[in-house]
Structure 1
Amino acid sequence: MTPKFVFGKEKNDWIKRPLLSNIEKILDYRGRTPKKLGLSWSDTGFLALSALNVKNGYIDFNADANYGNQELYNRWMGDNNLHKGQVVFTTEAPMGNVAQIPNDALYILSQRTIAFEVKHHLIREDFLATLLRSPKIFNELTSLSSGGTAKGISQKSLSNLKISLPASLDEQSAIGSLFRTLDDLLASYKDNLANYQSLKTTMLSKMFPKAGQTVPEIRLDGFEGEWENKILSEVTNITMGQSPKSENYTDNPNDYILVQGNADIKDKQVVPRLWTTEVTKMAEIGDIILTVRAPVGDIGKTDYNVVIGRGVAAIKGNDFIFYTLEKMKMTGFWNKFSTGSTFESISSNDIKEAIIQIPTLEEQQAIGAYFSNLDNLINSYQEKISQLETLKKKLLQDMFI
């Protein structure tokens, strides 16, 4: 048999054999604890690999983790130093996450991770790491697992697992290399996304005046002068929502789109979810939608003419107003008005009488354009990540049998 997608022109049959026939040794310290050794974890030292930081495809160095000192490492790992590329596998909670050791630094296997020492003449480590992440193998591992809520996989269960793989080590290497490249691209895009998101948070904080100030800490070139205090309803038109009767709700896209709250907004855009035949209050294309019930203060724009329920308000404002509202949400502006123990909400007066600071129209346009461009960059990276993850999922499905 061969998978749906193969490398090269030749479709050579894959061979099937027990997983453990490809493994020289499994490093498995389950049941061992620092306490049993008369020692304890520490906050620095050698990183302990666990179900918290072994993710599918990489080791998350920002996740919560334990560390061991030199004595703990020596007594725990002995001579079993993990090497770059070695496959690590989480055995429980969550079971089945796979990563490869990124460098030759020293790591400690915790009670919930194992590492494979492969027979290099039979299987490539890159290929094994990818194979263990495929849906077919994951499903088989799940069926072999035992336990209650926190299921785990034992070495005995692993001995019952059979895998299919190319006999050609070159083909194995090509498959492993492909997924390593995809993982590297994903990691790069995610780093860039995080950097741009962090930049946006910083600039929202610094490009608007802080409380008690009349000028921002950071200003775009060519602008000066103090910002003015204005009541939001003086510079925008605000429409409070009114819910249609529930018997008029439909799932017919030919009816009016109904926006009720946060559930109808995704990535700061209205996403049609529910429709109605009854028109109460309307928001027009380009309006800003502000949620007025828990969670209070979330915003989005609408690309449609929509009916708005009482969980939202519609605001006619430019991009500057949009990002002003986003900054207000970020800084907890609405918290002081929010009422209700179960369902927090803000009133019409809270919104209409909210004090904001504004510069000249030209500076408003420049600030709006700056953050709009930043959002476009963020959205582009989110789309690339989504596309790559979809591609990887499809390939994991089609490249293994």
Structure 2
Amino acid sequence: MKSPKIRFKEFQNDWNSRILGDFNIEMLKGSGISKNDLNNNGKNPCIHYGELFTYYKEFITEIKSKTNNGSVFSKINDVLMPTSDVTPNGLAKASCIKFDNVALSGDILILRCKDKIDGVFLAYIIRSNKKKILELVSGTTVYHIYAKDMKNFNLYYPNDIKEQEKIGEFFRKIDGILDLENSRFKKLENFKKTMLDKLFVKDGADEPQIRLGSFKGEWTSRILGDICEIIPINSYLTTPKNNGKYPVIQQGFEPIAGYSSQKNYFKNFDNVLLFGDHTLSLYKPKTPFFIASDGIKILKLKNKNSYFFKNLFLYKMPKSEGYKRHFSILKEIETRIPNDIKEQEAIGEFFRKIDGILEFSQKKITKLENIKKYLLNKMFV
């Protein structure tokens, strides 16, 4: 007998241990419905197994897709799991659906809970026991988890269904807050994209669609390569350490890969842009730093209006993923910049504030995710 470290005060009894196969649970498989069968005008709401990886969390509150096909349909309180993936980690997922008659595709394992176990509680407990789930996975190139495997999943649970429901509802509310914060973040990202398009000059145009304040001066044509210079990198730190005082920058830039005390680091530069694989970052180092990858270029801006030029580079960066890696392409792109330095500063400050709000929002989301992870560890056995 065990019990979790954090509980609601009205529940005191120990939790029981049991394998899933000993519960009154019917295990079914979805059927059919390929991606080509998804149709916005279809007559049946449906869930494709791939959406369990990318779209649905532990609690399904709305259905994304429709189809005209379907032979296996959901019942309220069903728990859905993907049964195959190219990595085993993806199979430690479960989502409880609160809708009848949703068509379920192949490669979905349906755990139909009938009594003594709440579906939402079961979905959260499966996700919080990733290590146990991975022990049940089979395969080499493609990994699978089957009904016969899940029957051996051992879990601790409270006999009182009300405690199960309260735990499930508690985490559902946390996810609701996370969904709201993620929605706000995406809206702000979209707003920034819109303003990049409005405040910078489109190809073929002479001035932007929107001007801040009362600025009316002309914008001059420039080549991006003329705005900055590449700082040569003589050596790279291919194996980041964790015992030094100098930060190590790798692809993606955040988080920093580690710290090192080796030589050949870069000294401080003002107005540095780090240009890498699909990423552009303004970096203002407080100490010298290392570069861990030859895929990163260090660009020193010739103008002090760093936020203006960082966002200009973002706006002009080629949309094709394959070309984002090559500064040789980016540096030849023609653009326009305002002659008035104060207009550059105003645009840069506008985007600096947006980036600050985005950064604050991202930190809030990360903090909520960490809180959820902590509570999942403490409120389940």
TM-score relative to the length of structure 2: 0.78
| Offset from partner CA, 1:65-117 (integer Å, 9 cap, x none) | 7x532xx43xx13xx5433x43222222242321122545x421222113233
CA contact (8 A) 1:24 1:118 kept: yes
Shift of 1:245: 5.4
d(CA) in 2 for partners of 1:26, 1:271: 44
**What amino acid sits opposite 2:67 in the alignment?**
G
1:314 has 2:278 as partner: no
Shift of 1:7: 1.9
CA contact (8 A) 1:89 1:98 kept: yes
Shift of 1:240: 3.3
d(CA) in 1 for partners of 2:248, 2:46: 50
CA spacing shift, 1:191–1:289, aligned 2, 3 Å: same
Q: SS of the residue aligned with 1:17?
A: strand
d(CA) in 1 for partners of 2:157, 2:147: 21
Runs of 5+ consecutive residues of structure 1 not aligned to the other structure: none
1:240 has 2:230 as partner: yes
Residue 28 of structure 2 aligns with which residue? 27
CA contact (8 A) 1:296 1:344 kept: no
Shift of 1:187: 1.5
Q: SS of the residue aligned with 1:198?
A: helix
**What amino acid sits opposite 1:54 in the alignment?**
L
Q: SS of the residue aligned with 2:251?
A: helix
1:298 has 2:280 as partner: yes
1:82 has 2:72 as partner: no
Shift of 1:154: 2.5
d(CA) in 2 for partners of 1:399, 1:240: 52
1:388 has 2:368 as partner: yes
Count of aligned pairs: 361
Mapping of residues 2-401 of structure 1, within 5 Å = 2-8=3-9, 11-29=12-30, 32-33=31-32, 41=37, 43-44=39-40, 45=42, 46-55=44-53, 56-57=57-58, 68-69=67-68, 72-73=69-70, 76-77=71-72, 80-83=73-76, 85-93=77-85, 94-101=90-97, 103-104=99-100, 106-120=101-115, 122-135=116-129, 138-230=130-222, 238-244=228-234, 253-254=244-245, 263=251, 265-266=253-254, 273=259, 276-278=262-264, 282-284=267-269, 286-291=270-275, 295=277, 298-306=280-288, 311-315=297-301, 316-318=303-305, 319-329=307-317, 344-346=326-328, 350=331, 356-401=336-381
| Offset from partner CA, 1:191-217 (integer Å, 9 cap, x none) | 222221122122112211112322211
Q: SS of the residue aligned with 2:328?
A: coil
**What amino acid sits opposite 2:231 in the alignment?**
G
| Offset from partner CA, 1:1-44 (integer Å, 9 cap, x none) | 11222221654211122323433433334xx5479xxxx93534
d(CA) in 2 for partners of 1:110, 1:239: 53
CA contact (8 A) 1:18 1:161 kept: yes
Q: SS of the residue aligned with 1:298?
A: strand
d(CA) in 1 for partners of 2:168, 2:106: 27
Q: SS of the residue aligned with 2:144?
A: coil
| Offset from partner CA, 1:301-352 (integer Å, 9 cap, x none) | 22325368793222252122222222222567x96xx9xxxx845399x58x
CA spacing shift, 1:14–1:271, aligned 2, 3 Å: closer
| Offset from partner CA, 1:354-375 (integer Å, 9 cap, x none) | 6541252332222112211211
d(CA) in 2 for partners of 1:250, 1:41: 47
For the aligned residue pairs, the C-alpha RMSD in angstroms reads 3.8
Q: Percent identity at matched positions?
A: 22
Q: SS of the residue aligned with 2:215?
A: coil
CA spacing shift, 1:220–1:396, aligned 2, 3 Å: same
Larger radius of gyration: 1
CA spacing shift, 1:331–1:26, aligned 2, 3 Å: closer
d(CA) in 2 for partners of 1:297, 1:118: 45
Runs of 5+ consecutive residues of structure 2 not aligned to the other structure: none
Q: SS of the residue aligned with 2:103?
A: strand
d(CA) in 2 for partners of 1:398, 1:250: 33
CA spacing shift, 1:390–1:278, aligned 2, 3 Å: same
d(CA) in 1 for partners of 2:156, 2:288: 53
Shift of 1:53: 0.3
**What amino acid sits opposite 1:133 in the alignment?**
R
Shift of 1:378: 1.5
**What amino acid sits opposite 2:23 in the alignment?**
N
CA contact (8 A) 2:37 2:67 kept: yes
**What amino acid sits opposite 1:49 in the alignment?**
I
Q: SS of the residue aligned with 1:224?
A: coil
TM-score relative to the length of structure 1: 0.75
d(CA) in 1 for partners of 2:195, 2:339: 16
After superposing the two structures, state which structure 1 stretch, 322-331 or 375-384, moved more: 322-331
**What amino acid sits opposite 2:253 in the alignment?**
I
**What amino acid sits opposite 1:289 in the alignment?**
L
